[in-house]
Amino acid sequence: QVQLQESGPGLVKPSETLSLTCTVSGGSISNNYWNWIRQPPGKGLEWIGYMYYSGSTNYNPSLKSRVTISVDTSKNQFSLKLNSVTAADTAVYYCARTPYGGSYMDVWGKGTTVTVSS
Amino acid sequence: QTVVTQEPSFSVSPGGTVTLTCGLSSGSVSTTYYPSWYQQTPGQAPRTLIYNTNTRSSGVPDRFSGSILGNKAALTITGAQADDESDYYCVLYMGRGFWVFGGGTKLTVL
């Protein structure tokens, strides 16, 4: 059974870069799409972007200028970088899988909280 | 800017039936948006309930069902139970690898 685990710093300073990693266990990172989704405190979910294991990506237009998602197939991991962060980027960040040929998220990580503050 | 609309809140009595909807700020939701539904309780990650409009995810009780009602996607809970009290999010696939989440519906069972 595939499991996802987010990891990374819980505190990032304003204007710096938020970096998170999602480790895929119990299955291969190949042949699936891998998403990042976030949830600010007390608010709803927001899709950030996804990457196909081969490296192709697509991002939410509202974040596109600041987001990079990359994959390391040798480690079965994919990563999120969000630059020039502000307090508005404070959120719980989730990674999630979209199965190949699917149009939904079927496996979710538990989420990791990132706070942007000096 | 595409906005996916959901009722902010809803309440249902235990044992009752409730239908939550998912619409578009402009236009109609159809199966071509592959609507999916997720349940989230406080402090927990979302759980996938329904995908491709009406396919239940593995392990989801059959009291949860999805459909298209009029110009919206719908999630119906039949025989609501106390532990169905959660936030429910719909997601629409906009094509070309782009998803939009609705704002979520907070369901109260009382």
Span B51-71, pLDDT tens digits: 999 999 999 999 999 999 999
Helix (H, G, I), strand (E, B) or coil at B83: helix
Q: What is the mean pLDDT of chain B?
A: 96
Q: How far apart are the first and last CA of chain A?
A: 39
pLDDT of the residue at B82? 96
Q: Which chain A residues have any C-beta within 8 angstroms of a chain B C-beta?
A: 33, 35, 37, 44-47, 50, 58, 60, 94, 96, 102-106, 108-111
Size of interface A-B (CB pairs under 8 A): 57
Over residues A92-115, mean pLDDT: 95
Give the tokens for residue B34. 């592959």
**Mean pLDDT along residues A77-106:** 96
